Structure 1
Amino acid sequence: MRPAPNTLELDEHLKEIVNALHRAVSYTMPHVDDPKIANKAIQDCKEILGVVMKGEISDWLK
């Protein structure tokens, strides 16, 4: 069976997404008591996850 096209590119993009989420959470944890920083990180994560859940993969690979 042949692998799906663009598998490597998709894997790399998803790794970037996971890294972005990890960075947002890691930066925020020491500042969790600061609502401005915490809310910004939550909003950033929601935005990133919203793009993923939308599932428009062809847009990710442009």
Structure 2
Amino acid sequence: MPKNIFQRPQQVAHTRNVPRHGAPIPMRKIEARKVAQPRQEATMPLPALEALLKSPRN
């Protein structure tokens, strides 16, 4: 709804670019760039299992 009550709403762009019959929706260029970059994990690697088993327990 426009703020000005006398203002007409913008017209809807009628494009025929609609995927039909189960066709996958193409990814946007921005989303494709995000997927292509590998994620860097900030977590520290876990110590080896043998080192944990040999350590003294408290």
Q: TM class, shorter-chain normalised?
A: under 0.3
Q: Which has the higher helix share?
A: 1
Greater relative contact order (Cα 8 A, min sep 6): structure 1 or 2? Answer: 1
TM-score, normalised on structure 2?
A: 0.24
TM-score, normalised on structure 1?
A: 0.23
